Structure formats: C-alpha cells, structure tokens
Amino acid sequence: MKEDYLHYIWKFQKLNPALLKTVDNESVLIKRVGLHNQNAGPDFLESKVFIGDTEWFGSVEIHVKSSDWNKHKHQYDKAYNNVMLHVVFEDDEPVKNQNGELIPTLVLKPLLDNNKFKQYKHFINNGLTIPCQRHLEPIDSFIINNWLERLVLERLERKTTLITKTLEEYKGDWSQTFTHYIMRYFGMKVNGDAMAELSRKTPLIYIQKERNHLPTLEALLFGQAGLINTTVIEDDYFLALRKEYLFLKQKYDLTAMKVVNWKYSKLRPPNFPTIRIAQIAQLFHSTDQLFENIRALSTVTDYQKLLTVSTSDYWNTHYTFGKECKQTKNSVGKIMINNIIINVVSPMSFAYGKSINDERYCNYATELITSLPSESNSIIDNWKTIGLKSKSAMQSQSLIELYSNYCTNKKCLSCAIGVQVLK
C-alpha cells in the first residue's frame, strides 16, 4: 500500500460512509475532509468530523501503519497535537499525541477495493515516462489549462525557496543574489555550479569597482576563475590579464578557484567557460544596474537589449587562451537571452515581490514569461508528441514542472490530470 493512495482515498472520499468506524467502534461521519497540506505538519488541515456524537475540528494524519506515527516522532511534535483522527491502512498499535491523549483511529484496509488499487499500481508502473499519455484525449481542456496555470505558480514558489536560501547566504543582498543566478545560468548545466562558485569568489562590490575598464574586469573574473593562474601562455592578452590579476589579487586579498572546476568536454566552443566569462564581463561592463531593472519593472524588450552583449575583440578569434581560430562574433544568442529572462529574471521578480509583499512584482514575473515564446527542449517536444502543445514560456514552464516533479516521480494522485484519468 502507498500513502499517497490513501491520501487520494481520503481527499476524494472513495469510501462508503455507512462503514466508517474507529477501532473503538465509534461511528465516523466526515463533514469536511480538510485542506491537503503539502508542507510540514499533518496531512489534512481544518477538517470537520463527527466521531460518535461529538463534532471535532482539527487535522487528520494518514499513515500506512499506525506505528508510523511513533516512527516519525509525531508523539513529540506539538504540530500534531491538533490531530483529531488518525487514518491508517493497518492498525498495529495505539498512538498518543504530545499531551499523552489517545488519538481515534480509522482503519481503511477492510473498506478498500483491492482491485482498484491493483489498477492504480498497474497504471503508474506501465513503463511510460508520462503514465497518462495514452489517456489525455478525453480530459476536459479546462481541467488541463487550470492545472497548468497552478503549476507555473508552484514552480515560481519552489524557485523562490531556493532564491531565499541564496539570499540568506549573501546576507540579504538582492543584487549579489541576482548576480549569482545570472552567472549560474551563463554556465548552463555543465558549468552552472562552477559559475555560481565564481560569483561567491568575486563579490559584486569588486566587480562594480572595476567595471568601467573592461580589461581589468576581465582580469578579475578570469583570475578568480583560476584560468590565468596556470602555466604561462606566450600570448599578449593572456600575459596582460595575468599581470593585472596579480595586482588585483593583492589589492582585494582574493583567493581564486581551481581550474579543474571548469568543464569543456562535449561543449560546443561558443559555450566554453572562457567565452561565457568574457560575455559576463561585457554584461557588467555595460551596466551595473541589473537588479535595479527588476525594481523598475522593465519590459521584456528592455531586458533583451540589456542582455544582448558580445565578447571583447580577442574572443572573436579565440575560444581558449593562445589558440587562434576562425573569426566569429561570440554574442549571447536570442534563445539564451529569453531563457535567462524565464529562468532568472522572472523567478527573482517573484521572490522579491513575495519578500516585500508587493503583488506587482509577482504579476510582473508571470507577465514576462507569458509574453515570451515557448521554450524548446526534449521535455516540451515529448509533450507535443502526445498532444499538449506549448504556445508560450508560461506553458512550457508549467509542462516542465509537470514532467519533472509529477510524471517522473509518479505523483499521479497529486496531479489534477492524473486524478481525472484515474476516475
């Protein structure tokens, strides 16, 4: 038995009300199942239940076995003192709250249709990455669209949690936090962690002090990345950066990263960390007001212009130090610019709005991604093949959230679409 299946049974009341009795043989009448709690604490909040002749208001906790209550240490947690009904599949021991009060227990095992549970297990174990992909056509489009609208907010809320943790790391400095995520995204999946570490090693205050002179800013960033602290390369540009960095290192008492943190394997040359760092240098050289643009509620067009930067001239003929290549212009591409707005600017605006309790920034976050075209990746292509086409970045973000946090984890009973299919 799975606990999420029991949540489903309780939430949608797939029970015969005439058969509901506690282990002490008291009748149970459910007046309100409560709010399904996805955070810490009891599973259902603000429930309303008659046990015998007594009306109870409080929380409901659900477990496969009643002994899970003690296993999870709920008997020591005051958050569970408001639980007035313990719903379990099997009752293997009585449980008490922190106050030593015995909690009424409702056992579901004799009440459930075992064939339906087998059908559910077969459904989620059908071998498909998206379990319901063969059953989408009959589902009302209103249900699908409404669920996708909820998912984009869920995705922004989840990202807000991550941003808040980073903000704490930077002691409440929003501009430094924004820099962290911009730099991380420039590194993409392969070098994202390394870029985030570079942002930690290079405080924004030093970047802002040196931003007016691009060669000095490049020396600061390449030096902190550990890319000019290795074997000396007989290249005028390299030697100039190295000399400048040695001065900056003493000036700011800096400690550089290790060069082994950077990966080049399987990357196209325009995505090499050298090119990305050169683009970041140009971005900060051109403006020191990146986060201020969020606070000014700038338009998508404003951000697209802001992020449209190229490398300095050296990197038009090099992908690595000292090795000349065919001339090209290493600009940040339009797709990447839009992806930065989707994955950095929008979540940062949402998180900032939440922190200061200003809905304008939260609305701005969703407006940004609604106005941008859909992302194009393997996840979105997969949805398209089974009939769900994404028309905007807002929809593609929803579909990515659905796939990554519901479909792949088989959380069908927590998904509005999955619930409709299983009905």
Instruction: List pLDDT tens digits, range 299-312.
Output: 899 999 999 999 99
Q: Is residue 159 part of a domain?
A: no
Give helix 359-370 / helix 141-169 axis angle, nearest 10°: 120
Q: Is residue 138 part of a domain?
A: no
Q: Does the pLDDT of residue 362 top 80, yes or no?
A: yes
The mean per-residue pLDDT over the stretch 116-125 comes to: 83
Written as six digits, the tokens of 214 are: 């691009």
Q: Is 76 left (phi over 0), alpha (psi -120 to 50) or beta?
A: alpha
Q: How many domains does the chain have?
A: 2
Q: Is residue 152 part of a domain?
A: no
Same domain, 298 and 225: yes
Domain of 8?
3-112
Q: How confident is the model at residue 249 (pLDDT cuts 50, 70, 90)?
A: very high
Same domain, 84 and 203: no
Q: How confident is the model at residue 91 (pLDDT cuts 50, 70, 90)?
A: very high
The mean per-residue pLDDT over the stretch 224-244 comes to: 92
Q: Is residue 340 part of a domain?
A: no
Give residue 394's pLDDT: 96
Q: What is the pLDDT of residues 172-224, one digit of tens each?
A: 999 999 999 999 999 999 999 999 999 999 999 999 999 999 999 999 999 99
Q: Does the pLDDT of residue 230 top 90, yes or no?
A: no
Q: Is residue 343 part of a domain?
A: no
Q: Does the pLDDT of residue 423 top 80, yes or no?
A: no
The length of the chain in residues reads: 423
Same domain, 174 and 319: yes
Q: Are the beta carbons of 278 and 312 closer than 8 angstroms? A: yes
